[in-house]
Structure 1
Amino acid sequence: MGEFVEILANFAINFAIVFVIVRLIYYPQQRDKHYVFTFFVFNTIVFFVMGLLNNSDISVGVGFGLFAIFSILRYRTDTIPIREMTYLFVLIALPVLNSILLGGEGYAEFAVANLATIGVLFVLEKGWGFEYEIRKTITYERIDMIRPENWPQLKADLEERTGLPIKRIEIGRLNFLRDTAQINVYYDARALESQHVRFATSEGAFAGDAGYDD
């Protein structure tokens, strides 16, 4: 009974770590609930499998086996983006690590490993010291605009159509039979975010003005 209570207590600690990573770091940036279920379930299952294996040597071997299997996992119906695969990789590795450290009372190592992981994820998600570009692929019908001398007009046309603050353009596959081109456009994520903030602020101001008319 005491061992079962200890496993539950360790699980609560591990779950708190996972909650911080998924709810407070991953979700605010993505606003995508599709992978939240997967992250929590995989982490929970791996932690309990590890916690119920009493033999340390066996648990380490099984843990690395699970780690290897799930880290290369691909769903046939939907390819997991590399960013979500990275989070899944982290959230499978952590329960293996946490189960071993908490079971062996390695609390200092547990704290260092988890705080370091959370810190790195938080800094990278905030983009401190980094400039991130987002890429979108567009099928463009004005194939005459892809000539190098027309790129300023091409950039202006794409910005007007998409509303994106485009930084650079790459011409991909050309289809002269249909007069279309695959164009990769790159834009600054922070610039787009600031546009959204200004737009939301403007909407709030207009809503406030409308309220005063009553």
Structure 2
Amino acid sequence: MNDLILIGIDAIAIALLAFGIYFRRHRRRDLLVAFVGVNIGVLAVSLVLASATASIGVGLGLFGVLSIIRLRSTEISQREVAYYFASLAIGLVAGLGGANLPVACGLIALVVAAMAVIDHPGLLAAHRQQMVRIDRAIVAETELVAHLEEILGGRVHRATVVELDLIDDSTLVDVRWSPTSAARLAVAA
């Protein structure tokens, strides 16, 4: 009976995580399908492992293998990696947690709530990260930061040169920055 309850809780949790939180905020259909598919697959396999004489180590090994296969197949952001692991964890907890239903439900709720809070658009909204290609090679760090602040309209907290091409006269920079209040107002208008 606990397994059926956990299957229902898993379905609600992954729907909330994938559709209610991730898709509404990020709109990547391909990853939505991946999160739900992996969750259901891990749930099914972990339910079978829980009913067999296999150890929890086998289930955790499956967790690792699935994540390595998926994460090597395409490039995804760190945020999406977090959603990926959350969907894996929910399926694993639901599949193996039948012996202690209240703890399993609490852990599933904790995973969904943590992702909802930590990925909320209002949390750290003033902090941005992006890759910027500048159409000239800039070697001096102070000149680079000043140029980035001018084109981005904000305060640069960190600028890491990823590529400096003196032949094609360009600079690729990973920038951590915050827009000024004037720039935030212009975007909001």
Q: Which band: TM-score by shorter chain?
A: 0.7 to 0.9
**Cα deviation digits, residues 24-75 of structure 1 (max 9, x gap):** 2222221221200001111111111222346354163432121121222345
User: Which blocks of at least 5 consecutive residues in structure 1 are unaligned?
Assistant: 160-164, 200-214
The 10-residue stretch of structure 1 (43-52 or 129-138) with the greater mean CA deviation from structure 2? 129-138
Structure 2 contact 164–170 (Cα < 8 Å) conserved: yes
Structure 2 contact 50–95 (Cα < 8 Å) conserved: no
Residue correspondence of structure 1 range 1-214 to structure 2 within 5 A: 7=3, 9-53=5-49, 55=51, 57-58=53-54, 60-74=56-70, 78-101=74-97, 103-104=98-99, 106-126=100-120, 130=124, 133-143=127-137, 148=142, 152=146, 155-156=149-150, 158-159=151-152, 165-168=153-156, 170=159, 172=161, 173-188=163-178, 196=187, 198-199=188-189
Structure 2 contact 130–174 (Cα < 8 Å) conserved: yes
Task: Specify whether residues 68 and 193 from structure 1 end up closer, same or farther in structure 2 by C-alpha distance, changes over 3 A only.
Answer: farther
Q: Which has the higher contact order (CA 8 A, sep 6+)?
A: 2
Q: Runs of at least 4 residues of structure 1 off by over 6 A? A: 189-194
State the 1:135 CA deviation.
Answer: 2.2
Structure 1 contact 166–185 (Cα < 8 Å) conserved: no
| Amino acid aligned to 1:72 | I
State the 1:92 CA deviation.
Answer: 1.3
| Amino acid aligned to 1:69 | V
Task: Specify whether residues 108 and 30 from structure 1 end up closer, same or farther in structure 2 by C-alpha distance, changes over 3 A only.
Answer: same
Secondary structure of 2:82's partner? helix
CA distance in 2, matches of 1:116, 1:83: 17
Secondary structure of 1:126's partner? coil
Structure 1 contact 18–91 (Cα < 8 Å) conserved: yes
Structure 2 contact 131–172 (Cα < 8 Å) conserved: yes
State the 1:91 CA deviation.
Answer: 1.3
Could you tell me the TM-score, scaled by structure 2's length? 0.77
Q: State the percentage of identical aligned residues.
A: 19
Task: Specify whether residues 113 and 54 from structure 1 end up closer, same or farther in structure 2 by C-alpha distance, changes over 3 A only.
Answer: closer
**CA RMSD for the aligned pairs?**
3.3
